[in-house]
Structure 1
Amino acid sequence: MRSFIAQQVDLIALAPVVESGWEKVLTEAKDAEIPVILLDRGIDVEDESLYTSFIGSDFITEGENAAKELIKLMGEETKVNIVELQGTVGASSANDRMEGFANIINENPNYEIIKSQTGEFTRSKGKEVMEAFLKSDGENIDAVYAHNDDMALGAIQAIEEYGLKPGEDIKIVSVDGIKDIFEAVAAGKSNIIVECNPLLGPQLAQAAKDLQAGKEIERWIKADESVFVGKEEAEAALPSRKY
């Protein structure tokens, strides 16, 4: 960012991996009168005027939608033990998806998150953590909530190696919407996909043009997203997936 500021660019788009630690360099950008647009993930700053806009998803709503669809699938009256594969510690997406999911689950006394641990948003770590969950609580796990599809795909591998059927013996809900998870749902190995649309380039380009034209832009430009449940919806969506 300091390199961009030194080049006196017209706009900086920032996709932050973690929420904290941005105040100083954002202040430098503001002093240089360079607008900053956040992409995909938010940040934690006391002075929100340090950035112009955020383009991306409502991660809390994603977590809430994951919980609502899981409850619809399994029924409100059913006793359900859930294990949670968290994203990267400190990431706004992980924090908010955890909060949103818990908001809904905690309202239903029949649903309980019995284990929650970071899988670092990777397939390999998701598999490793799921293996540990199965070793300690294998017979008690009814559902997996993964903060992204890659961890869910790792969990699917772990469940199969444990001798159970993912999508049947253990229900799976995950967030993102990559092609691999649509194929897994179509094959009956996962159940619910909460989309997190990463195709933000066109919205960023439009925001940049609007700023250059002197127009005001919204503080939060939300991505268009959907929820897909079951084989039929996954199969219907597969041909048009772009990521």
Structure 2
Amino acid sequence: MEFNYIYKQNMKKVTFLFFILILSLSFNSCVTNKRYNLLQGATTEKNSNPPQYEVTLQPDDELMIIISSFNPELAAPYNLSVGGVGGGATYLIDQNGYIVLPNLGSIKAAGKTRNQLIEAIKEALKGKLENPTIYVKLMNFRVLVYGEVAATGMQTVKSERYTILEALTNAGITYFGKRKKVLIIRENNGTRTFETVDVTKADLINSPYFYLAQNDVIYVEPNFVKLNSTVITPTVGFFLSGISVGLTILLLTRQ
């Protein structure tokens, strides 16, 4: 009788501890998902006013500019020659924000979007070249990503629409990276701004920092796990917790 009583009491304790373990693991799983899943709360509803974005040109931007028309010979004087072939040359925006085009002189580029610069070049060609076609491409769009990522360093981008999510994916944000507080340093007209974004929230797509600007600097802070040297990873933590509970159960059943 005494043995059965002790056995039943121990089984109650074992059941209770097992319940606590399952509850703890479930809670930690939910917390982990909330900390690390990106764009939480996103829905399939269409945004009637999606954010529009165009790169604003800055000093030190390198531009490929090609001016053409139905008669290549008429367009040739307005293109720099590259290897004996007109067009395809690059122009550097100077510190005053200007580029210098052959036979057109200085044209303000900084502060304009690519399409606005195209219109400015067309305006300069009025009366000189009929129905010109202008091609402008930003050649040195790059951002710097460092901190808690697998691949720190400069990312050179071909597209002019590059998001913070793409940058973090290409850099490989680690488990230790703080996703709720990613710092973006941006320079505009000589003024640096410091902004933190939460990449776990769906409304990130409405932020002016969702699309990156050239020369943006992205810093991923270490999270509490990295700062707390006693915690290695959730898996190890759960494993150690399981061992601890298992030893407790073993001791109780052997009493």
Which structure is higher in helix share?
1
Kindly name which structure, 1 or 2, has the bigger radius of gyration based on alpha carbons: 2
TM bucket, shorter chain: under 0.3
Of structures 1 and 2, the one with the larger relative CO (CA 8 A, separation 6+) is 2
Structure 1 length as normaliser, TM-score? Answer: 0.25
Structure 2 length as normaliser, TM-score? Answer: 0.24
